[in-house]
Chains A and B, each alone.
Chain A
Amino acid sequence: MLAYVTKRVLGLVPVLLGVIFLVFCMVWLAPGDPVLALLGESAQGMSAGQVEELRRAYGLDRGFAEQFVSYLSGALRLDLGVSLRSSQPVGAEVLSRFPATLALAGSAMLIAVVVGGAFGVLAAVYKGTWVDSIAIVVALLGVSVPVFWSGLVLMLVFALQLGWLPASGFGGWRHLVMPAAAVGFSSAAFIARVTRASLIETLRLDYVRTARAKGLRERVVRLKHALKNALLPVVTVVGLQFGGLLGGAVLTETVFAWPGVGRLLVDAIRSRDLPLVQGSVLLVAVAFILVNLLVDLSYAALNPKVRYG
């Protein structure tokens, strides 16, 4: 297992370098002069001399490679520059928004796994019946309905019409219910589809027939013998879904005025605050990579075939 962990972690190094490189390039790919792109609106009314002075101050007069190395060494120390809007260090500002986003994505994931898993198992066990049909239709809706729309509909019904939950803002669990349900719904749909397909496949295998033949109760066969193996592909999907959850969180945070990284990023894009855009993109991508690493490792821990394959 240790060899596998080492291999996977080392394999991430080039990907991380690539991600940092892409984020670094955003300044160069933005239309116009990099200095002006970095300065945003504050560059207006500056003399050419002042701009050149700032170009030297930012180190933008140096060579491309030299600049990348200095961005990289900064990024590794979480020194990601200063926000144009708030003049705060970008790293600290993004990190301060992380707990809210992780709470949202985490509870959405919980909802998705519980609801999606349950629907998937029911659909597989009652394959071909009305239970299966309902599960399939709900799962299809889940992957088709935009997360910001289901969020708005939930808000309309449960907050504005019924008044059961607060419409928006950040606070206790009551504020978390609707955004988490909206984000979790689409992932639940994916998880339900995969769980169903995987369990149906597993139930056909020989060892399941053996378990039945030796007289085990159907419930034990399905839930203890088959489900355990059927859950392996589900673990992978859960990991991949985390990216979708983060994306869903970006949209949902805007709907519910949830103070997470997503809303910070969208506000930064709107106000052309490039250092803040870069910092948010980089840190969310790194979080996504780390979660996928954890999922891969737990997958390997569950399934010896992966480790030795």
Chain B
Amino acid sequence: MADLVAATAGRVPGPLARFWNAPAARRFRRNRGAVVGLVLVVALVLIAVLAPTLAPFAPDAQDLRARLRPPSTAHPFGTDEFGRDILSRVLYGARISLFTGLVPVVSGLLVGTTIGLLGGYYRGWLDDVLMRVMDVLLAFPSLLLALAVVGTLGPGLVNAVVAVAIVAVPGYARLARSVVIAAREEEFVHAARSLGAHDLRLMVRHVLPSTIGPLTVQATLGIGFAILSMAGLSFLGLGVQPPTSDWGEMLSRGRRFLPGSSWLLLYPGAAISLTVLAFNLLGDGLRDAFDPRD
């Protein structure tokens, strides 16, 4: 018995165990919605990675003898006007959807955090100028700003991603700035400064880590929003262009075959909704885990 106690007490928990037992992780595990969101996101990533294995057909394989067929055993989600298998296209669509969700958020995060860090750390005229620019960007409804960018640069996947990234910047910049303003007055930052740490080191090593939690939550919710915006642009014919398998683009073409071929709309739309739902659940769960108000 004494041996057992000594052995247990002597073992230092590994990083994985510490992560698993952290209060935030415990709160996250107890939150049913958060766990469902995480499972859905993991499933989505797996679908995107394994699409070539999972899909019964190539996403662009045409079968002109089987055009606009309703769901059947051969084609569980039916076929489109070129006889392409909807199930395969929906599975492959997870790739473009995750890509168009992640890339704008990561780029918006990089630019926004840099702006917020510089403004919040240095304050003064630099902060004023940066925040006034953010105010102007926020003065546009987000989809309108995305449309303005696409209207300037021209339609297409890359320009649409740029547009959604630009829309994301001011939100991250403001959030990062507010965290940085509070963090730079912390005692450990003052201590590091009195030890002679220069501005860049203070910003990156001591102030930036405080922003990780709030920005992670915001970014997770942002992925859902980015996917929704990209799907909207593609639906308008301004984002992903055919023949790429994209859910928004599938809806845009499918609606021409109403009312007869409702399966063309049902599955891609449900896929967008489920994906956005997954990231919203995960984001809400992370927020409640990091910032318990009750």
Contact = CB atoms under 8 A, between A and B. Distances in A.
Interface of A: 14-16, 18-19, 21-23, 26, 29-31, 140-141, 143-149, 152-153, 155-156, 160-161, 242-244, 246-248, 250-251, 254-255, 265-266, 268-270, 272, 274, 277, 281, 284-285, 288-289
Given A29-B153, A146-B276, A285-B144, 6 more contacts: A19-B136, A22-B148, A30-B153, A246-B144, A254-B236, A281-B140
Interface string B231-259: 11001111000000000100100010011
A31 to B, nearest CB: 7
A295 to B, nearest CB: 14
B228 interface: yes
Given A29-B153, A269-B155, A269-B238, A156 B139 contact: no
User: Chain B binding site: helix, strand, loop or mixed by DSSP?
Assistant: helix
B148 A281 contact: yes
Given A156-B262, A270-B237, A144 B148 contact: no
Interface in B123-151: 132-133, 135-136, 139-144, 147-148, 150-151
8 contacts: A16-B139, A31-B153, A145-B273, A149-B273, A161-B259, A243-B142, A285-B140, A285-B141
Contact of A152 (B135, B142, B153, B269): B269
B287 to A, nearest CB: 12
Nearest to A251: B232
Contacts of B207: none
Contact of A23 (B148, B153, B228, B265): B148
B164 to A, nearest CB: 12
A148 B235 contact: yes
Contact of A15 (B139, B228, B255, B280): B139
Contacts of B24: none
A146 B238 contact: no
B251 to A, nearest CB: 6
A15 B152 CA distance: 21
Contacts of B33: 140
B251 A149 contact: yes
Contacts of B228: 144, 146
Contacts of B232: 146-148, 247, 251
Contacts of B248: 146
B76 interface: no
Contacts of A265: 144, 147, 151
B168 interface: no
A145 B276 CA distance: 8
A26 B133 contact: no
Contacts of B152: 26, 29-30, 274, 277
A100 B232 CA distance: 21
B258 A155 contact: yes
Contacts of A268: 151
A277 B148 contact: yes
A162 to B, nearest CB: 11
B258 A140 contact: no
A164 B260 CA distance: 18
